[in-house]
Amino acid sequence: MAHDIPLYQRKRDPTPAELAGIPWLRSLEPGERDRAAAQVTVGDALPGDYVCRIGRPVTYWFGVVEGLLKMSSDNAQGQTMTFTGVPPGGWFGEGTALKRESYRYNIQALRKSVVAGLPVDSFHWLLDHSIGFNRFVMDQLNERLGQFIAAREIDRMGNPDVRVARSLAALFNPVLYPGVGEILRITQQELGYLVGLSRQRVNESLRALEAQGTIRVEYGGLRVLNLEALRSSKSQPRPRAPAGADATHSTTSTA
């Protein structure tokens, strides 16, 4: 079974379409791009597979081509704290790769995903030779700082609707996750894992946000209608759902 084979032993060469979905390759000069593309590998992760584990030395800089990952850590009491999800187009761990440190978090697949990796030595070669790559990494680090400041704020919020709204806004970040676009392919169960709420409670929050006109629940995912409203969401009285609304309405992943 595939789960019995470690993810790194399932790596393969990327397809042309998979390479086309890697955003930072577009920032490189032709020679740099050819060299980097030749070093990129991809792996087919199954639900529950670990891409990175706490304490393991960094060997690759990773990104998501397809699917959905979560970044989390365990505290001293054995409780899991989820920091964020990583949807398509997202690359992560640049700070760890820069310092060649061991990972301080776990990255785990929530669904079947295609994960790309650039060897850490190639990552540093690009830092030493490519202005475009440096700009991309600087933008990543700047956005990541804002993301984690927002995550700390979200973690202290008691209102579930606001937690869901702000968490969705983070997943629609066009700089960190350019592969998402206007539709996020995610199930209510997966969103519940990321925000620490039950699927039923997430369903209620999504219905409230849809009634406010900030999102629209569609087959296969969620469409953002007002990103700024999601980002600035605050505790407020929840609007009533339209008469006859289906209380069991839920998103269904097509991945």
Residues 175 and 55 both lie in one domain: no
The domain boundary, picked from 100, 135, 153, lies at 153
Q: What's the Cα-to-Cα distance from 249 to each of 29, 207, 215, 223, 240, rounded to whole Å?
A: 47, 9, 14, 15, 15
CA 61 to chain centre: 14
223: in domain:
yes
In a domain, 249, yes or no: no
**Edge-to-edge order in the sheet of strand 11-12:** 11-12, 41-45, 113-119, 60-66, 91-92
* CATH number (domain holding residue 130): 2.60.120.10
Q: Which CATH number belongs to the domain containing residue 174 in this structure?
A: 1.10.10.10
Q: How many domains does the structure of the chain reveal?
A: 2
Instruction: Give a yes or no: residue 106 inside a domain.
Output: yes
Query: What radius of gyration do the chain's Cα atoms show?
Result: 19
Residue 118 covered by a domain:
yes
Residue 139: how many CB atoms within 10 A of its CB? 14
Report yes or no on 247 lying in a domain. no
Residues 209 and 175 in one domain: yes
Within-domain flag for 206? yes
Residue 53 CB coordination number (10 Å): 12
Q: Measured between alpha carbons, how far is residue 30 from residues 25, 34, 35, 118 in Å?
A: 9, 6, 9, 17
Has residue 255 been placed in a domain? Answer: no
128, 153, 178: which is the final residue of a domain? Answer: 153
Q: Tell me which DSSP letter residue 26 carries.
A: G
Last-in-domain residue among 129, 153, 177: 153
Helix axes 160-171, 199-212, angle to 10 degrees: 80
If we measure between CA atoms, which residue out of 43, 37, 90, 36 comes closest to residue 63? 90
Q: Which domain holds residue 227?
A: 159-231
pLDDT at 157: 62
Domain shared by 20 and 54, yes or no = yes
- Same-domain check for residues 110 and 164: no
Q: What is the pLDDT of residue 247?
A: 38
Please indicate, yes or no, whether residues 135 and 180 belong to a single structural domain of this protein.
no
- Supply the DSSP string of 75-109, one letter for each residue: -TTS-EEEEEEE-TT-EE-HHHHHHT-B-SSEEEE
Same domain, 92 and 218: no
Pair (125, 196) in one structural domain:
no
What is the structure's pLDDT at 243?
Answer: 46
Q: What is the pLDDT of residue 80?
A: 72
Q: 200 and 178, same structural domain?
A: yes
238 falls within a domain: no
CA atoms within 13 A on the CB side of 157: 21
Tens place of pLDDT per residue across the chain (255 aa): 456 677 777 889 999 999 999 999 999 999 999 999 999 999 999 999 999 999 999 999 999 999 999 998 876 666 677 778 999 999 999 999 999 999 999 999 999 999 999 999 999 999 999 999 999 999 999 888 877 776 666 666 668 888 899 889 889 988 999 988 888 999 999 999 888 889 999 999 999 999 999 999 998 889 999 999 888 876 554 444 444 444 334 343 333
Indicate if 8 and 111 belong to the same structural domain.
yes
Q: Are residues 184 and 61 in the same domain?
A: no
Q: Is residue 104 domain-shared with residue 215, that is, in the same domain?
A: no
Q: Are residues 94 and 42 in the same domain?
A: yes
